[in-house]
């Protein structure tokens, strides 16, 4: 029942942008809804929205929350799969100064995605594609080269702010980000020991410098140990 009431309220807010008419919510309905909207978000938002444990409701017996005990927790080590992530691989060059105009414009457009969507006709298809195309065109109007815009946004969102919300960046400039990544990963491979990315010097390139030195020390230690054991055996035999 509560979800139905909330959906009705949401639909009325969306229609208000077009009709400028907002009906008054009945007191009895307002009392029911208020009890829930003042509460914290559901517990499963820890996984669905990256919420912190202190910002969600305690675990209860709802079907969704029971999934926490049913689904096994198998952590994936992405470093072993793809190497240690370096956000600068998404850039075409270094950024010494962040242009505030680009950041402010990006934030403004990112916040107003809902408003941009409401400007479209109800029958419009591919709304998402249109929204991000519109954002790209608006950022291009700042008269900066697109590669420069991408570098500044990557440096800001990954390096300076370390934001968890980068969907808009990838939807708008995913083609450039992928192109930069491919270019920067040319003639490189992962260290077979720790997984960080290294330059391919020759066919024998397997390890980063730190891992190579560590493995070399271990190899020498084992050789010396074998030599001492062999020498000791020869002395005992004589």
pLDDT digits (tens, 9 = 90+) for 13-37: 777 777 777 777 778 877 777 776 6
Token duo for residue 181: 């990544």
**What confidence category does residue 177 fall into, taking pLDDT thresholds of 50, 70 and 90?**
very high
0.85 cut: is pTM over it? no
Collapse the DSSP code of 205 into the 3-class scheme (helix H, G, I; strand E, B; otherwise coil) and give the result.
coil
pLDDT digits (tens, 9 = 90+) for 70-96: 777 666 666 566 666 788 989 998 888
**Cα(209)–Cα(211) distance, integer angstroms:** 6
Is residue 109's pLDDT more than 70?
yes
CA distances from 177 to 15, 33, 91, 138, 164 (A): 37, 43, 7, 19, 17
Strands 197-199 and 188-190: antiparallel
For residues 117-132, give the mean pLDDT: 73
Apex CA 225: angle with CA 219 and CA 226, to 5°?
Answer: 90
Residues whose CB is less than 8 angstroms from the CB of residue 29 and which lie 6 or more positions away in sequence, other chains included: 5
**What confidence category does residue 1 fall into, taking pLDDT thresholds of 50, 70 and 90?**
low
Collapse the DSSP code of 94 into the 3-class scheme (helix H, G, I; strand E, B; otherwise coil) and give the result.
coil
Token duo for residue 229: 């054991």
Is the CB of residue 176 less than 8 Å from the CB of residue 159? no
> What proportion of the chain, given as a percentage, has pLDDT over 90?
22
């Amino acid at each position: 029942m509560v979800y139905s009431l909330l959906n009705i309220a949401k639909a009325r807010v969306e229609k208000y942008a077009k009709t400028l008419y907002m009906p008054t919510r009945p007191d009895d309905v307002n009392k029911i809804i208020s009890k829930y909207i003042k509460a914290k978000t559901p517990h499963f938002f820890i996984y669905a929205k990256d919420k912190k444990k202190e910002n969600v409701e305690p675990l209860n017996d709802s079907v969704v929350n029971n999934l926490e005990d049913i689904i096994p927790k198998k952590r994936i080590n992405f470093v072993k799969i793809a190497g240690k992530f370096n956000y600068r691989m998404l850039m075409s060059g270094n950024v010494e100064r962040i242009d505030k105009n680009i950041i402010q414009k990006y934030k403004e457009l990112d916040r107003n995605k809902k408003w941009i969507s409401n400007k479209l006709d109800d029958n419009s298809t591919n709304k998402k594609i249109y929204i991000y195309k519109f954002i790209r065109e608006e950022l291009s109007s700042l008269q900066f080269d697109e590669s420069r815009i991408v570098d500044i946004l990557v440096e800001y969102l990954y390096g300076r702010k370390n934001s968890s919300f980068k969907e808009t960046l990838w939807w708008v400039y995913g083609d450039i980000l992928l192109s930069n990544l491919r270019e920067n990963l040319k003639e490189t491979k992962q260290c077979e020991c720790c997984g960080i990315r290294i330059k391919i010097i020759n066919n024998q390139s397997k390890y980063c410098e730190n891992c190579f030195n560590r493995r070399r020390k271990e190899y020498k230690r084992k050789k010396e140990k074998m030599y001492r054991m062999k020498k000791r055996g020869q002395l005992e035999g004589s």
